[in-house]
Amino acid sequence: MLEMSNGSQHQTMKLSKNSWILILIFIILLLFFSILFFFRSKPEYVSKVDIALGTTVKVVVSSDKDPGLIIEAILREFHRIDRKFSVTDPKSVISQINKSENPVEVDEETAFVIERSIALARATEGAFDPALGNLITLWGFDRINDSAFKPTIPSDSQIEEALEKSGYENILLENDVVILNNSVKLDLGGIVKGYAIDRGLSIAKEMDPEATGYIDAGRDIGIIGPKFGGEYWAIAVQDPRGDSGEYIDLVYLKKGAIVTSGDYERFFMMDGVRYHHILNPKTGYPIRETISTTVISPDAMDADAFSTAAFVLGSEFSAVLLPVLGGQGLFVDAQNKATYTEGWSFFKEKH
């Protein structure tokens, strides 16, 4: 009996040892195939660069469907919006509105963009203003990319006259009919690029809800979907006084938009002074106290307007106002000192 018992115990231990070896082999194989699947399953990204809305537009897409078709659809939308809302194209809807001395009936999309512009102007107390067309034309920032453009500094009296014909309060919109009072002129340059990004994101998701990637329109970025379907995109905020590629901060996004306004985007130099396109709606002159603002918001359209407003209002007021409006911001003053809203730090970490 004793011998039988010892033999049985030995056999049991042997079986147990073999089982552990099999389990170990199974775990190793499982890890191997999991790692193999992980790397093979990471989607490949397709990208394309184009010019629209006066800037370089880069679209990066990964999709189980045809990413090239998605990219082309997004870029077509950018060009359509560029033509429609241009202030220099005489055939654009904005040019037609600006030239007319009578009420103009507009389509649903145009009414939406103008209505949202008015709402954001009110929310920012006029710091973002879509009716500064006369001032922008006076300074020449609507044609600064034209090789024939020769900058001049307007006189005080010219600026005062243009100011009198400015202000979003002069835009009336009712039942898709636009009326511009007091000879004001629309210029939606401070919001239409953000609108184009939002439209591009919508198109990507309509064509493939699982698509990932981003749209970068001159450093204004909208996220189509998380990197590789689940990871963060790392986005560098450019140092406004650094060389290309030098950045002042780094944030992480899986969704939403990040938009930067800077005095280095559209400007000319005269007698050592930088004159840029972000004008103070109250004085008619370029803002001096700020050189860069960056805003994170769920929508690129709002972030576009907020970044302009924050540039005008300055960091102290914007740090309070932006979170109330649904954004977080980074502000760089004339001394190249950066300050932030309290919630900005959330985006500096991967959660």
Mean pLDDT score, 31-42: 55
Residue appearing with tokens 């309290």: 342
Q: Are residues 103 and 76 in the same domain?
A: no
Percent of the chain with pLDDT over 90: 80
Structural domain range at position 135: 92-180
Q: Are residues 245 and 271 in the same domain?
A: yes
The mean pLDDT of the chain is 91
At 175, is the secondary structure helix, strand, or coil? coil
CATH number at residue 228: 3.10.520.10
Mean pLDDT score, 57-62: 98
pLDDT at residue 15 in the model: 47
CATH number at residue 117: 1.10.3980.10
Decide if 219 contacts 300 (C-beta within 8 A). no
Asked, for residue 228, whether it belongs to a domain, the answer is: yes
CA-to-CA separations, 130 to 28, 102, 116, 168, 309, in angstroms, rounded: 62, 19, 10, 6, 11
pLDDT at residue 35 in the model: 56
pTM attached to this predicted model: 0.87
pLDDT at residue 33 in the model: 58
What tokens appear for 294 in the block? Answer: 């960056």
Give 168's DSSP letter. G
Q: Is the pLDDT of residue 9 over 80?
A: no
Q: Are residues 237 and 160 in the same domain?
A: no
Asked, for residue 5, whether it belongs to a domain, the answer is: no
Q: Are residues 273 and 162 in the same domain?
A: no
Q: Are residues 58 and 202 in the same domain?
A: yes
Euclidean distance between CA atoms 87 and 192, whole angstroms: 11
Mean pLDDT score, 107-132: 97
Domain limit, last residue, from 126, 150, 180:
180
Domain limit, last residue, from 128, 148, 180:
180
What are the two backbone dihedrals, phi and then psi, of residue 121, each rounded to the nearest 5 degrees? -65, -45
pLDDT at residue 4 in the model: 36
Asked, for residue 6, whether it belongs to a domain, the answer is: no
Q: What is the number of domains present in the chain?
A: 2
Domain limit, last residue, from 160, 180, 200:
180
3-class DSSP string for 303-341: HHHHHHHHHHHCHHHHHHHHHHHCCEEEEEECCCCEEEC
pLDDT in tens, 301-320: 999 999 999 999 999 999 99
Decide if 321 contacts 123 (C-beta within 8 A). no
Percent of the chain with pLDDT over 70: 89
Q: What angle do CA 320, 130, 164 make, to 5 degrees?
A: 105
pLDDT in tens, 61-110: 999 999 999 999 999 999 999 999 999 999 999 999 999 999 999 999 99
